[in-house]
Amino acid sequence: MEWISKFLILCIVLGCTAARAEAQKPVFPLLFDARERIASPDLTGLKRLRFLTTVDFPPFNFIDGAGRISGFHVDLAREICRVLSIEDRCQIQAVPFDELQSALDKSEGEAVIAGLSVQPELRQKYAFSRPFMRLPARFAVANGITTFADLRGQPVGVVASTVHEAMAKVFFPDLWITPFPDRAALLKALSDGSLKAAFGDGVQLSFWVNGAQTKACCRLLDGAYFSQRFLGEGLTVMTRKADPLLNQAIDHALLDLSRSGRLEELYLRYFPNGIY
């Protein structure tokens, strides 16, 4: 993940988003109905809102060149606090990923914003905000591949024993799905030309195809694929079930950020090349 962080920081410094001004703006699917209304509850009794996150999931959470915790999730947490007018009570702190739940249980924080997958067993114990971003699966292809029809008869690489392998086999039963032992082997085969297409996480593939190490060998094929069964509901904020007003307040803030376009602005900042 280190190369993604470096690429992201370089993009922010050099203004990758601005460089795309004359190009078509990446699409950001809106998950909120503009006509919807979610009331903002009274939070005067809330002493503080501590968002728990990690620092090892760029571009969502990472340590920037100045040693500060940064990323899409971090900026989104700050925007949620701004909408709720509780900036003076808002904190963001990082803990190891495998300690997020225990930290929330021990009241070391009030909310988790770190890309935790919404699982049925977690729903029994925690509350989740409405999704604010869905993560797609995408095809990365060699430059000679221009349409989905070009994939027929070609081996399409996937990382073995992953949700993307399972998804590919269900979604595309007519394609020649070819497992690779790990992501490094898959991308090496794609970059050296021995493989013409790969199917996997759209976020990782988006940064990979735009990275210098690929030498412009590949591109994302048009089309983003979603599946709640395989990829989950999307990115959410997790809170304790004992804090229903906080969960409602976060949903209200997310709706406001979606309606105002601020959520899309954050997306364009951290994903200047688009993932959809």
Average pLDDT estimate for 91-101: 96
Q: Percent of the chain scored above 70 by pLDDT?
A: 91
Q: Is the pLDDT of residue 19 over 70?
A: no
Q: 21 falls in which pLDDT band (50, 70, 90)?
A: very low
Pick the CATH number of 2-134+233-270 from 3.90.226.10, 3.40.190.80, 3.40.50.1580, 3.40.190.10: 3.40.190.10
Q: Is the pLDDT of residue 20 over 50?
A: no
- Name the CATH topology of 137-230: D-Maltodextrin-Binding Protein; domain 2 (3.40.190)
Residue pLDDT, tens place only, 160-174: 999 999 999 999 999
Residue pLDDT, tens place only, 247-276: 999 999 999 999 999 999 999 999 998 999
- SS3 for the chain, per residue? CHHHHHHHHHHHHHCHHHHCCCCCCCCCCCCCCCCCCCCCCCCCCCCCEEEEECCEECCCEEECCCCCEECHHHHHHHHHHHHCCCHHHEEEEECCHHHHHHHHHCCCCCEECCCCCCCHHHHCCEEECCCCECCCEEEEEECCCCCHHHHCCCEEEEECCCHHHHHHHHHCCCCEEEEECCHHHHHHHHHCCCCCEEEEEHHHHHHHHCCHHHCCCEEECCCCECCHHHHCCCECCEEECCCHHHHHHHHHHHHHHHHHCHHHHHHHHHCCCCCC
At residue 260, the pLDDT reads: 94
Mean pLDDT, the chain, integer: 90
At residue 213, the pLDDT reads: 85
At residue 2, the pLDDT reads: 45
At residue 24, the pLDDT reads: 59
The torsion angles phi and psi of 17, rounded to 5 degrees, stand at: -65, -45
Q: 23 falls in which pLDDT band (50, 70, 90)?
A: very low
Q: Is the pLDDT of residue 152 over 90?
A: yes
Average pLDDT estimate for 141-158: 96
At residue 104, the pLDDT reads: 97
Supply the pTM of this predicted model: 0.86
Q: Is the pLDDT of residue 3 over 50?
A: no
Q: Is the pLDDT of residue 245 over 90?
A: yes
At residue 22, the pLDDT reads: 36
Average pLDDT estimate for 201-226: 94
At residue 25, the pLDDT reads: 62
Q: Is the pLDDT of residue 1 over 90?
A: no
Average pLDDT estimate for 73-99: 97
Q: 28 falls in which pLDDT band (50, 70, 90)?
A: confident
Regarding predicted confidence, which is higher, 11 or 161?
161
At residue 75, the pLDDT reads: 98
Average pLDDT estimate for 18-37: 68
- Identical fold, 2-134+233-270 and 137-230: yes
Q: 29 falls in which pLDDT band (50, 70, 90)?
A: confident
Average pLDDT estimate for 119-130: 94
* Extents of the domains making up the chain: 2-134+233-270, 137-230
